[in-house]
Structures are given as C-alpha cells and as structure tokens.
Amino acid sequence: MLEMVQVPIGSSSLPATLEQARRWYAVYTASNREKRVEQHLRTKGVEVFLPLYTVTKRWKNRTRAKVDLPLFPGYLFVRIAVTERVRVLEVPNVVSIVGKGREPMPLSDLELDVVRTGLRLGQVDPHPYLKVGNRARIRTGPFAGMEGIVLRKAGQLRVVISIDCIMRSMAVHVNAEELEPCS
C-alpha cells in the first residue's frame, strides 16, 4: 500500500515515487510577467526553467543595452508531479498549466534539452510557429511575397505555391528563417 508523505519540494530527500513522477510542464503566464513568475516559483522551491535569449535594444534617445527576453513570450517550464500543480497555479500571474482541458500535458525531457543546448551554443532565436500544412509567406529571395502551404520532403522545408487560374502548383525549397506565418 502506498503511503503519502508530505515533503517540501526543495528537499533532496524526496520519495523515489514522487521524484519519478515529476515531469516538465509548460506554464502560461500573464503578459510580460515571466521573470516575476520564475522568481516566485523559485522561492516556493519549484524547479523552473525560463529560456532567455539576449538582444541589443536601441531606444529613441540612441542608447543601447543588452536585454534578456523570454524565448517563448508568455511561457516558462516547471518540473513537478501532477499532484503539485496547485502549488504552481496559486502563484500570482500564472494563468494556467498548458494541457488538454483540465489535464496538464507533460513535455519530453528531450525537447527541453534541445532548447538548453541551443541556448548554451547561442544558436536559437524566437521564430513564428510554422507547422507543416499551414499557410506561410516567403519573406526573402526570388519568391518573396509568395504564399503557400508548408511541407517537409526529404528532410527539407518546401512551400507549395499554387497558381489558381491554371490549377497547378510547385514546391519551392526554402529555409525556415525565410518564412512567416500568414494571418
């Protein structure tokens, strides 16, 4: 029979079953409150990951400064057991834990490891979400301004551009940074 033991989250002597039950979840926050939520969660002893990237901002008075911004505005990640979700939800400026309906949806450790590696190597920047099958506009190159459907073939991104009057299409090889989602 399982016995419930109340142990503070920051404690290193967590029962093995609770430690194994911990998974990563995305937390949706109020606008521009990611850093405050991160600090609050840390004070509560919750393991949290807020991916930040650095940009140089230039203001109207021509001053420049390096600023750390969230890689995914409005989101951060917590590693908790499902039973600990109330601890996260009661933090000010936390809107919800991302999931299907009322059930939080865990992320794989691999996804967050890729984000951490990209940040460590300085090879990530935010990019509009593009999904295979969605409409996108090509921003640069000889096909700039053209719109089509994004697909992946042989490991490469392509945009299928259709000419409606002749009912024909062509697939154009593109890089992800050349695309922007259509509204």
The fraction of the chain above a pLDDT of 90, given in percent, is 36
Residue type, 28: Y
Query: Region 79-100: what's the mean pLDDT?
Result: 94
Query: Region 27-44: what's the mean pLDDT?
Result: 96
Residue 12 has pLDDT above 80, yes or no: no
Q: pLDDT band for 8, please (50, 70, 90 cuts).
A: very low
> What is the per-residue pLDDT for 17?
62
Query: Region 141-170: what's the mean pLDDT?
Result: 80
Query: Region 48-53: what's the mean pLDDT?
Result: 93
DSSP state of 183: -
Q: pLDDT band for 16, please (50, 70, 90 cuts).
A: low
Q: Which long-range contacts (CB under 8 A, 24 or more apart) does 126-130 make?
A: 126/53, 126/71, 126/72, 126/73, 127/176, 127/177, 128/179, 128/180, 128/181, 129/181, 130/176, 130/179, 130/181
Residue 120 has pLDDT above 90, yes or no: no
